[in-house]
Amino acid sequence: MGLASTPSSSAVLSTSLCTARRSSLPPSHGRRHHLRFLSTFRKCNLNCQKPSGKIRGQRVRCSAVEVENDIDDEACELVNGVELSIGEGDDNIQAFLFKAVKNNNGTGVLLLTDIFGFQDSATRDFAYQVACHGYNVLVPDLFRGDPWGKGRPKTMFEQWLASQDPKRVARDIETSTKWMVDEFTAAGLSKKLGIMGFCFGGGRVIDILAADEGGCFSTAVSFYGTRMDVSAASKVKVPVLFISGDNDPLCPVSVLNEFEKGIGRGSKVVIFKGRGHAFAHRPGSPEEDVDAEQAFTLMRTWLHDGLVVKS
C-alpha cells in the first residue's frame, strides 16, 4: 500500500534528565558489563528466558529484513546480545542489549516494547535488525516479568494495564536511560541517544521525551503509539517520526497530526494506507511485509540522520 507524510522544523537540546542523579550498576553486573561497548559481548540466544545472573546463548543472525548493500552478511552476523540486570534495589530491572560489533557507529537506541514485553520474539527480532545497522539497542523489561499474555482473556486487559504503575514504568525507563549514558561515557563513545517504541512503548516515547526536554535523547520514532497525551507535545524538544496505518483505531491519524503540529522541530507523520495496528513489527501478510520493510527503512534513515550524521 502507499503512504502519505507531512513534515515540520528542527531540534533543540537541553540537559534536564541527564544531569539528574545517576544510578550505578549492581556489583554483580556493573563490573562484568562496564566498558564492553568497545569489545565483544559473549553471545546470547534470542529466545533465552529469565536471566540466571550469567550471560548465555549464541550469536544472533539477521533474517526478516534484507540487509542493505552497505551492510554485509558478516557485519550482520556480528551482532551480539546479552541479557542484563541494571539499576539497584527497587529500581533493578532486566533488559536485553543488542550490540553491533564490526560496524558499531557508537550511538545507542532505547527501544520501548509493546504490551508483550522484552522477551517477545518479534520485538527482539526487530531490535537485532536495528543493531545490524550499527546501533547499540537496549530493550528494558517495562513490565517487571508480567507482560500481557496472548492467551489471557481480553476482559482482563484493563485490569492488567492498571497494575502497571505509570510512575514505576517511567522510573524504569529513566534507569535504562541512565545506564546507557553511563556506559557510553565510560567507553568514550557518543552520548547521543535515540528512543523508539511500539504501541504501548510508542506512547511512552512521548511521555519520556516531554520529561527529558532534550537532555538525553536527540531523536525519536513512535510506531502506532497508544494512549498518548497530546498536551505533552509542547514539551518535546526533539524531532519525532510517527509511523502508523490509517486503519488503526488505537492510534488515530488525527491525533498524530496534532502531535506533529504541537512538536514541530522537523517532526514527521508517515501513514501507510490500509494498515492496522502493529504491521511494522508484526506483519501478518506478504503485503504487510512490504510495508514493514519500507517502515523499517524510514526508521533507519531517521536514526542515521538524527544520531550518526549529526554526531
pLDDT at residue 47, rounded to an integer = 32
Contacts of 21 (CB under 8 A, 6+ apart): none
Please tell me the predicted confidence (pLDDT) of residue 74: 53
Q: Which domain holds residue 135?
A: 75-308
pLDDT of residue 77: 64
152 inside domain: yes
Tell me, yes or no, whether 55 lies in a domain.
no
User: Which pLDDT score is estimated for 53?
Assistant: 33
In a domain, 7, yes or no: no
- Number of domains the chain contains: 1
Round to whole Å and give the CA distance between 145 and 50. Answer: 8
Q: Is there a domain that residue 270 lies in? A: yes
CA distance 202 to 192: 20
**Strand pairing class (108-112; 193-198):** parallel
Q: Give me the CATH number covering residue 89.
A: 3.40.50.1820
Can you give the pTM of this predicted structure? 0.78
Look at residue 179 and tell me if it is in a domain.
Answer: yes
pLDDT of residue 69: 41
Q: Report the chain (311 residues): mean pLDDT per 10 consecutive residues.
A: 39 27 29 31 33 32 37 62 94 95 91 97 94 95 96 95 96 96 84 92 96 93 96 95 97 96 95 96 94 97 93 64
Give me the pLDDT at residue 192, please: 77
Q: What angle do CA 41, 47, 32 make, to 5 degrees?
A: 25
In a domain, 175, yes or no: yes
What percent of the chain is helix, strand and coil (3-state, nearest 5)? 35, 15, 45
Q: Kindly state whether residue 84 falls inside one of the protein's structural domains.
A: yes
Would you state the pLDDT for residue 52?
Answer: 32
- Specify if 252 maps to a domain: yes
At 311 the pLDDT is: 64
pLDDT of residue 39: 34
